[in-house]
Amino acid sequence: MLNDLDAWFVREILVHERALAGYLQRCWPHRDELHDLRQEVYARVYEAARRERPASPRAFLFATARHLMTDRVRRSRVVSIEPMGDFESSNVYPIDELCPERWTGGRQALRRLVEALDALPDRCREVVWLRRVEELPQQEVARRLGISGRTVEKHLAKGMRLIADHLFGGDPARGRGAPAAAAPLEEGHGRQQDD
Amino acid sequence: MDDSRTIERTAAQWLARRESGAWSARDQQALEAWLEQRTEHRVAWLRLHAAWEQAGRLRALAAGLPPGQVPERGRWAAWAAGDGAPAASPVPDLRALRFAPRPPSRPARWPRRLAACLALAVAAGAGWGAWQLSGRQQAHYASAVGQVREVALADGSRATLSSGTRLAVYLDRGQRRVVLEQGEALFEVARDPARPFAVEAGGYRAVAVGTRYAVRREAGALRVVVTEGRVRLEDLPGAGTPRPVSLLPAGSVATAGGDGVLVRSLPVEEAQRYLEWRDGFLVFDDTPLEQAAAEFNRFNLRRLELADPAVAALRVGGHFRWSNLDAFVGLLEQGFPVRAERHPDRIVLYAR
């Protein structure tokens, strides 16, 4: 159900998430806002591309991030610790032009996936393995693990989020707290809020 | 309006439900309506969807494994860390071998002793391995140049990787071991008196029970900054002649090299300044420019080079964003007799 624009977005924009996250993190002092900032950058890029695809998606992504931060500073009238000049600095580019984040295809991608899988909390990891790798039906997974189908779904949803964070490697989501959180203690879904 | 995290959770719920097998045309309509509602919804969904599609590649791992059984963690760790094909079996626990006494080199009895030792090693390995099996975890983390990355370790500790850092974490029931292969990292150690937390680098190890400290590795030297609790700095076991053990209370900045350990005791706030890279800053206080340039170069691919000894000897102070090398150089040009030559990959400073 992906349309052309969706596919473009995944291929040309999401691949830069790690670089984008690094950039946002360096420029924006409020860590708890990084997740939201990232999402808004994506939404703006997507909307702009709906009208016209930018010729250089990567540069466009960073320019959008820069404008968004400028807008937010203006809107909130909060005096940033850093001079605005920081947003303008272009030294984000060299970082991963040298090591492009091409996570699709290849062994590198499989490696990252393996890391992502191993970093999942125990129960979540079991569910992801049985559902995504072995492709057992949800009810079968629920039966084997002795949990309800609804709980399987919850673990799956959580696994999807954690895997995306790890795979795209950006993870500004948690500011403190990384994609690679192998935290067996966290498996109870009572704590899903703070993974 | 929902915040970004709520949207992400909702997107994940949609995706998980769609995968659940019970998915009707009505559900599909509802999902499409949700996606149309806001672009934020769509991008969050696209992101998770793309990652989940990729995760299908994990199916390659199931080949040759008994179905229905979730393999233990770390099974592919050695392969994921770098080289070789996926291990057909879990990485053997070589540490078990130290339970066997080293066979003395007496040729005549060599074969029998060796056999005995091997048997002992195998037995010890099996027992030790079985005891540890469920408690063992291994992970590798790395950060790119210019990236500061926080990771949660499985024991509840946290590590913050500075720019260009690589480390490996080995956890089991008896110990927590981190090998700092490159760079610098700050550790906030979860308290667990039964399992000391040891960071190994450059022939030393820094051991803590529950504390906060940073270890940094450089050519031929190691730096440990303790901001909370207490750390024991000692030799790696089996690394030649033992050197004295240093106990480092909070506020210590220890530099360890081939010749021994130099410890400075500072007020904790001052020791903290060594860790400001975490928030994106480098702090200098009457620091030779040569050293300051080296700091910047840890964090940036675009290098700062000093062409003259006179420039290298200038002393600088202040609080600088490590991501903004240009601003730093601009300030130097204003305040010091230096001239900068800017190239795409480096900035060279000359005396003026």
Q: Where are the domains of chain A?
A: 4-97, 106-194
Using only C-alpha atoms, chain B has a radius of gyration, in whole angstroms, of: 26
Q: Which two tokens stand for residue B58?
A: 């994990």
Facing residue for A85 by CB, picked from B47, B51, B327: B327
How much of chain B exceeds pLDDT 70, in percent? 80
Q: Give the pTM.
A: 0.47
Give B148's contacts in chain A (Cβ within 8 Å): 25
Residue A38 has pLDDT above 80, yes or no: yes
Give B145's contacts in chain A (Cβ within 8 Å): 95
CA atoms within 13 A on the CB side of B178: 36
Q: What is the mean pLDDT of each run of 10 residues along chain B (352 residues)?
A: 89 92 86 93 94 85 76 72 42 34 39 50 47 67 87 88 91 89 90 86 83 84 88 78 79 82 85 85 84 90 90 84 86 84 92 86
Maximum CA extent, chain A: 58
Contact B50 A96 (CB under 8 A): no
Q: Which CATH class is domain A106-194?
A: mainly alpha
Residue ranges of the domains in chain B? 4-55, 94-135, 137-271, 280-351
Instruction: Say how far apart CA B232 and CA B342 lie, in whole Å.
Output: 45
Q: Which CATH class is domain B137-271?
A: mainly beta
SS3 B21: coil
Contact B80 A131 (CB under 8 A): no
Report in angstroms the alpha-carbon separations of A192 from A124, A150, A154, A158, A186: 11, 14, 9, 8, 8
Residue A81 has pLDDT above 60, yes or no: no
**What pLDDT is attached to residue B306?**
93
CA distance A195 to chain B (A): 10
- Whether chain A has a CB inside 8 Å of the CB on B39: the answer is yes
Neighbours of A128 (CB within 10 A): 25
**What pLDDT is attached to residue B239?**
59
Give B52's contacts in chain A (Cβ within 8 Å): 132, 160, 163-164
- Phi and psi dihedrals of A42, rounded to 5? -60, -45
Its ipTM equals 0.79
How much of chain B exceeds pLDDT 90, in percent? 24
B338-342 and B303-306: which strand pairing?
unpaired
Contact A137 B21 (CB under 8 A): yes
CA distance A76 to chain B (A): 17
Residue B79: which H helix or E strand, with range? Answer: helix B77-81
Closest CA to B187 of B219, B222, B162, B221: B162
Selected residue with higher pLDDT from B320 and A50: A50
- Whether chain A has a CB inside 8 Å of the CB on B156: the answer is yes
Domain B280-351 adopts which CATH fold? Phage tail protein beta-alpha-beta fold (3.55.50)
B230-235 and B246-249: which strand pairing?
antiparallel
